[in-house]
Structure 1
């Protein structure tokens, strides 16, 4: 609620007549009949009234949110049409098809009037009005609101309704004139406006009721739209945020950080997303995407595509195959469901990344020492185009380097094109790296914050999703890898190889348990495969054992009876291992288990 002294002029809703009032007749200059001597004055007032209503409705319609619309009504009305205006709105405002409660309350949203130092405001409202008024279904106020049409304050209905709105015992001061105008939206009355003229000003005319009705209608429809838009934007924004990762995984060999910024208030709902998905073999998939458009539909499509990517990543498909199937899913969602996407797989053992692109801005790789490089990857067509092939490239991912994935909101705006923005990003990353020790990389979280610092005023036209990955890798000395033939001697050989690797790493305390579990997993594998299998041990902050074969049949744990001679393998793995699991691969499956390292 606020007060304002509003100047006259075009911003007040029209051209001033009579020292700041279009409808400025006074007791010394009364209105005349159109067929009398004052016909010319009446015609001029009618013309002024039409211009005022047109300018006022344009001003009200410019408002984007509820407060701007209410302010537009007040600024257009005072002092051109009235000396004071009180705007009441339902609290809470019903949205869409919501069933409103009864009785309901209306809260005074805004009070605007001329200041006491204005020569036209000798009787400024100095009496208290209720901030909150209850509207009972059988009350006179409810009857006026249901009638929708504005009424004069001295009418029989308004004389009872106004005290109910303003408060018991409070009514329009003697000599003041009032119009009570219900504000009806598309489905129901959402409030009321009280327009007042001081005692020294001419009374309202019947044509003023028509002007008040037009102002009230424009205001109510604008408020309806603003409330609906606000609710949709809020739901879509919450929907988008809940579909983004609540936290990032921290797989071995890579550190991750992310940022997400919505766009400006006028277009804050988008379809940007990022994700990090652990894959078998200590690999991780890094994903960033951008659904075209800004709406709740964009946010919901983003959620569906992100879920699809997670499912496809779980199948351990190659990056280009992931984008191919994602493209097919987008076409099933509709002919205009398009998005860009970048899918990267990092292998910390091989120190390599594999990248496939679907129309997305290329990633930037920041090397140790400060060199920033825009990676050359095939651009590809956006997801949803259909009928195109995606390419993948494999590149080195040296330890200490940082890969930055982002959406176009970071680099593109009204002020610059996307490639200019990418070059600015590359230069900023290089400059940031120069501020630290050349042999070390800048802290990851601080790097993300610094990247967002490149955004200048007017650069927030779109959502921004940012995903940064610092490659630590796994040293070759911490990896042991062998191939085993699927024969009866394989479990014994696997035990000896594992024992030898543990001894080299100084983990002899784990030898008994690891030998037993390796033997059981390898024994289970040779039952279903006829080709060589692989055995790999990884030493990081834990010990991980992986046995891969070309069979897609996953092992299932069952509880063996005490008299059974077999069926105890996975039961022992489940009891002795810290964690274990089995994952299908595009080439078969991998069964793995992890052991906690003994304290050094």
Structure 2
């Protein structure tokens, strides 16, 4: 401790030559804080400030001393961790006087000329000051008769400032967490070992969300524990555990309960209802702690346990227990305020994390319900898909994909991306996807589908923009028709391993308005794979779109080399494509759709045009019988002739132009009958007196599947029959 001169000791005047020299400073001292943490250096006291200042004329120098006194700024927020006044901290605090800068002497008040009275002015001097100055230098000002009292005040200021700095640092660490585990971990790491030697955090299970009123008993689950770990000594061994190490969970060698049911009206319920933290030796806490931690848990004696309820915005959601070992100073009364601040910020953070988690779950579930649960497997094409959200913090996006079966065994492949990441983007994506499915059911050309999607986007709002690529694959003709609306071009992987970027007109995004879309028809050879994707796969902060497209093409080529002449399987191919993403490539969500074109061989297709006459039904039966004989499917002759006769008869009755009859042999036998009448047939129950109305009933009973699709030129009615054993081509 620095020795201070008393008021009756004579003051020595500093020599003039030493006025600009560095003043003598007492050596700093430090005391050990709780848990072995070092204390702050002891600052100079007020007496040392006076000794380091040059002598000045005495008199009424109380105001003069205040004018020349410099104030010490507060410590940096990231300074020494908090220590209580009884933990070995030293005196000092914010607002404490400190020496003036070195080399800057204190300016004495101007001396009054002889015989001129000094007027009271800004310094508050009295007229008697002139006579006091003439009497010569006066004795130094009297100091406090109780120096120890001044040290206690400074120590209290120091402790208060350290507490505030600790609370600020701890709450910032807690607030950085987004999910539940990060917030609880932030509380544990902020308090151990600075504030406590061990901590147990209990939260309600399950945690209520928002205004939900939980039903059933209140159960607290031990969410996390933390304590000062054993440290190896200099010889590599382990330091022995203290005899009264705080008791924690069974996972950490303790006996604290993992689950605790809060009994209505019990001591724990009363403490949680009171909200305020309590010392462990208080009667209410002494009765509540065994109910929370279990009856076998051993706790330190004295003010070394604090039970702090965690209260959120609407209700108590848990409790935190802070513990100190007997070798460390006990908690003080002000530490209850620290525990209350930590508990409040933690509870509000848990509320925030629960609400965020619920919103993220709802958004993710909403978006995934707008995407297809499973892809269809139409004839002549195999499909695989992947969808990846952008990140955990931005799950909701506007990317989508779809595969829509069309008449004639064709399939529509759709990939699109709504601009933005929000619930609004996901909602717009759902509307555009539904619109695309409806337009595809009308069998419109791809460019017409994009035109109607553009009109729909404009009806949704002026800033509702999206990109989309719409393609229709015909397995019979081995052709694909593609129209693009500002979307990245597809990549075709051929059977020999060559990958090429298809030359498709880019078009304008959907929602711009007043733009014509163009469709191109390209070859789709058997064994080729078409890869459709959104811009999140090829564009990021570290690469542009065309660089990413070239990397995608190279990755497809490298993957095809691994399988030789045979095309790679679709599912592993999609995984290989996603593996091209690097650490900084997940800036946007990604939708990926891969289609393997198997096609239908011309020998497995039979197609006829028939005039709408009364004899057409018999002619259709004969043609179908010959096709089955050629394919070796005579077992299906009776069923096929009956069903073809019923469907063709209905078409001939209302058609004005030639009807079409087509048979497709794949894994099933499919029959399609087309006419120029747009009205779709409906299954109905015929009355006993009705002469007709039983044709579709027979089709429904005998066919494996059946349906009707409206076209731009009429409709198509189709049905499928299962292949006999050994009849698959």
Report the CA distance between 1:404 and its aligned residue.
0.8
Alignment of 1:110 with 2:224, yes or no, is yes
Report the CA distance between 1:218 and its aligned residue.
1.6
Q: Write the deviation string for residues 344-382 of structure 1: whole angstroms up to 9, x where unpaired.
A: 211111211122333332211111212111122233444
Alignment of 1:582 with 2:703, yes or no, is no
Q: C-alpha distance in 2, partners of 1:110/1:38? A: 38
1:490-509 alignment, distance < 5 Å: 490-507=616-633
Report the CA distance between 1:85 and its aligned residue.
2.1
The change in CA–CA distance for 1:327 and 1:24 in structure 2 (over 3 A counts) is: farther
Q: C-alpha distance in 1, partners of 2:636/2:255? A: 82
Larger relative contact order (Cα-Cα within 8 Å, sequence gap ≥ 6):
1
Q: C-alpha distance in 1, partners of 2:418/2:537? A: 15
Report the CA distance between 1:53 and its aligned residue.
1.6
Report the CA distance between 1:496 and its aligned residue.
4.4
Q: C-alpha distance in 2, partners of 1:366/1:449? A: 15
Q: C-alpha distance in 2, partners of 1:8/1:592? A: 86
Q: Write the deviation string for residues 404-456 of structure 1: whole angstroms up to 9, x where unpaired.
A: 11233322334323322211111111122223333x32222232222222223
Alignment of 1:314 with 2:378, yes or no, is no
Asked whether the equivalents of residues 498 and 557 of structure 2 are also in contact (C-alpha less than 8 Å), the reply is yes
1:177-188 alignment, distance < 5 Å: 177-188=304-315
2:360 aligned to which of 220, 233, 239: 233
1:541 aligned to which of 649, 656, 667: 667
Report the CA distance between 1:582 and its aligned residue.
1.8
Q: C-alpha distance in 2, partners of 1:162/1:516? A: 82
The TM-score, its normalising length taken from structure 1, stands at 0.87
Task: Choose between structure 1 and 2: higher strand proportion.
Answer: 1
The change in CA–CA distance for 1:473 and 1:120 in structure 2 (over 3 A counts) is: closer
Runs of 5+ unmatched residues, structure 2: 1-34, 40-76, 94-146, 232-238, 248-253
The TM-score, its normalising length taken from structure 2, stands at 0.72
Q: C-alpha distance in 2, partners of 1:133/1:515? A: 73
SS at 1:340 equivalent? strand
SS at 1:37 equivalent? helix
Asked whether the equivalents of residues 281 and 302 of structure 2 are also in contact (C-alpha less than 8 Å), the reply is no
* Map of 1:277 onto structure 2: 404
Q: Write the deviation string for residues 546-577 of structure 1: whole angstroms up to 9, x where unpaired.
A: 22122111233455566765445434444554
* Map of 2:546 onto structure 1: 419
SS at 2:393 equivalent? helix
Runs of 5+ unmatched residues, structure 1: none
1:258 aligned to which of 385, 404, 411: 385
Aligned length: 589
Asked whether the equivalents of residues 480 and 538 of structure 1 are also in contact (C-alpha less than 8 Å), the reply is yes
Report the CA distance between 1:140 and its aligned residue.
3.2
2:208 aligned to which of 94, 117, 122: 94
Asked whether the equivalents of residues 520 and 570 of structure 1 are also in contact (C-alpha less than 8 Å), the reply is yes
* Map of 2:174 onto structure 1: 60
Q: C-alpha distance in 2, partners of 1:16/1:122? A: 29
Q: C-alpha distance in 2, partners of 1:361/1:371? A: 19
Report the CA distance between 1:48 and its aligned residue.
2.0
Superposed CA RMSD: 3.4
SS at 2:654 equivalent? coil
* Map of 1:189 onto structure 2: 316
Segment of structure 1 superposing worse, 249-258 or 305-314: 305-314
Q: C-alpha distance in 1, partners of 2:625/2:587? A: 59
SS at 1:483 equivalent? strand
Q: C-alpha distance in 2, partners of 1:311/1:447? A: 31
Alignment of 1:23 with 2:84, yes or no, is yes
Q: C-alpha distance in 1, partners of 2:687/2:384? A: 48
Looking at CA atoms only, which structure, 1 or 2, has the larger radius of gyration? 2
* Map of 1:450 onto structure 2: 576
Asked whether the equivalents of residues 83 and 163 of structure 2 are also in contact (C-alpha less than 8 Å), the reply is yes
Q: C-alpha distance in 1, partners of 2:696/2:88? A: 100
Segment of structure 1 superposing worse, 459-468 or 223-232: 459-468
Q: C-alpha distance in 2, partners of 1:555/1:503? A: 30
